[in-house]
Structure 1
């Protein structure tokens, strides 16, 4: 398939390269960053022209940082209006489910929107080992599944448009809570005179294991969450806002996750 790709960052570049290696005709939008040439090495192409990337795509993937950037690309820069009838738009950016639904309402006739939420690291993106939770209509799902299989090791259609983002936000609430708890656990261990490396190794093989424990255990200062904050905080805030609007009680998960997002918290 002809794939357009907007957002060749730490995650998007690896995903686009996997799609190119799988035989899809991938054209990525670039502003000249040298690392983007890796897509060309894998058989893809690069273009500085956003409109051209969108107009030629059977499936256009957007993988930028947040909802504001999604709106900027689709509305302010006019990309949404360049999609051709029969094309599909995949929003990989984690954000509010209502945005995906609004984009569908505003899309040109014959264009279908899919939310392709994912979980994983840049290394997993490059290796085609992501987890994808997809919100799409029953008609759209068979068309996008072959693309997602190129960079996803576990790919599931979880419901209609918006459902993928709902599940991803729930995942990120849990992850934020796990990170907060893991940081506290390491802080206690350090206070008790235990070696972080030993604690991390033992807990990884015990019933208290989690990905958050493993990630923090590999850090020089395992209770310093500053470098994670910008990636997790926006999703926590989005999930809490949506839950509040829907009248949902997130109970202990929401409370722990909220503490992660508090300004000044470590």
Structure 2
């Protein structure tokens, strides 16, 4: 069970150097868009990413490029971390030339990445030893929400940490939910992603069934979106799957990573998750068949490889060749 623990700074913590300077570590689809909204809100952004193109985009928007995370954090009051997974978070925080070595004492580290709650709690304790506050602050809303500044921030941490990061979180979001201590937010985000991934997999499966049965896929999407079977992920993905619009908004690999976190969490709590396990199998097939970085809309194509389902065939050409009943 997650305890709402607060993580105090060290006794000699000093006020940050400049409360309008934010270090943004990770400038991909999500981090880059969040950095852009911070700039629009009047913050100075010092950014770092391993991708030179992402760094160039930040510079074109008016941000400053830093050669490493420590340089980005120097003189900032907040460090926003938006990288892919827990090992990367640890590296950019505590590795050579990491954020923790350079962010002024009293500064706050907002970890927006989706990582296991236990890892987030560990990082918060280690940041406290450096005189730094931590916000467990994963976000929901995807690339479109990041670009529009309408993300939902799920925020956990001490009152001091949440207050220090509030302005930056508001600049990137429409809603900020304060949910308790460090770890609580990561747990809620993992549960959200378990649902989202399962809905994406079911969207692909439902479309494959309808197309194989000879139903007009566009009409199917229209009807479901106005019926009880709809979901936010169906509404965001179904039409794009049918139109074969595979512009990456979220990747197969990201959903697979998130499901792995959710399933590991469930296993540690002895909580059965048969539906999420099945959804993970679909995403794993997708990662193996196409590419982990490919758009999750490509999951519909996976059903072409399953016995009895061929989304490329003419609608109504043949019934499914197998039954779920024994």
Report the TM-score when normalising by structure 1: 0.89
Using the TM superposition, give the Cα deviation of residue 100 of structure 1 relative to its aligned residue in structure 2, in angstroms.
Answer: 1.3
Secondary structure in 2 matching 1:148: helix
| RMSD (Å), alpha carbons | 2.3
**Map of 1:189 onto structure 2:** 210
Native 8 Å contact 1:130 1:151 kept in 2: yes
**Map of 2:24 onto structure 1:** 5
Q: Distance in 1 between matches of 2:238 and 2:178?
A: 31
Equivalent of residue 69 in structure 2, options 14, 28, 50: 50
- After superposition, residues 55-134 of structure 1 pair within 5 angstroms as 55-79=74-98, 80-107=100-127, 108-134=129-155
Q: Does 1:217 align with 2:239?
A: yes
Native 8 Å contact 2:27 2:54 kept in 1: no
Native 8 Å contact 1:20 1:39 kept in 2: no
Q: Distance in 1 between matches of 2:150 and 2:22?
A: 19
Q: Distance in 2 between matches of 1:37 and 1:201?
A: 41
Q: Distance in 2 between matches of 1:35 and 1:52?
A: 17
Secondary structure in 2 matching 1:161: coil
Q: Distance in 1 between matches of 2:161 and 2:95?
A: 26
**Map of 2:299 onto structure 1:** none
Native 8 Å contact 1:174 1:253 kept in 2: no
Deviations 1:77-133 (A, max 9, x none): 341233321011111111111111111222233201111111122222111011111
Secondary structure in 2 matching 1:11: helix
**Map of 2:59 onto structure 1:** 40
Using the TM superposition, give the Cα deviation of residue 249 of structure 1 relative to its aligned residue in structure 2, in angstroms.
Answer: 3.1
Secondary structure in 2 matching 1:68: helix
Structure number with larger C-alpha Rg: 2
Range with greater deviation from structure 2 (203-212 or 24-33): 24-33
Equivalent of residue 228 in structure 2, options 185, 188, 207: 207
Residues 5/65 of structure 1: CA separation in 2 closer, same or farther (3 Å cut): same
Using the TM superposition, give the Cα deviation of residue 248 of structure 1 relative to its aligned residue in structure 2, in angstroms.
Answer: 2.5
Q: Distance in 2 between matches of 1:23 and 1:204?
A: 39
Using the TM superposition, give the Cα deviation of residue 153 of structure 1 relative to its aligned residue in structure 2, in angstroms.
Answer: 0.9
- After superposition, residues 143-182 of structure 1 pair within 5 angstroms as 143-182=164-203
Q: Distance in 2 between matches of 1:66 and 1:32?
A: 16
Residues 255/32 of structure 1: CA separation in 2 closer, same or farther (3 Å cut): closer
Using the TM superposition, give the Cα deviation of residue 67 of structure 1 relative to its aligned residue in structure 2, in angstroms.
Answer: 1.1
Native 8 Å contact 1:114 1:136 kept in 2: yes
Aligned residues: 263
Q: Distance in 2 between matches of 1:81 and 1:130?
A: 29
Equivalent of residue 234 in structure 1, options 249, 257, 274: 257
Residues 254/123 of structure 1: CA separation in 2 closer, same or farther (3 Å cut): closer
Q: 5+ residue gaps in structure 1?
A: none
Secondary structure in 1 matching 2:137: strand
Secondary structure in 1 matching 2:241: coil
Q: Distance in 2 between matches of 1:25 and 1:228?
A: 30
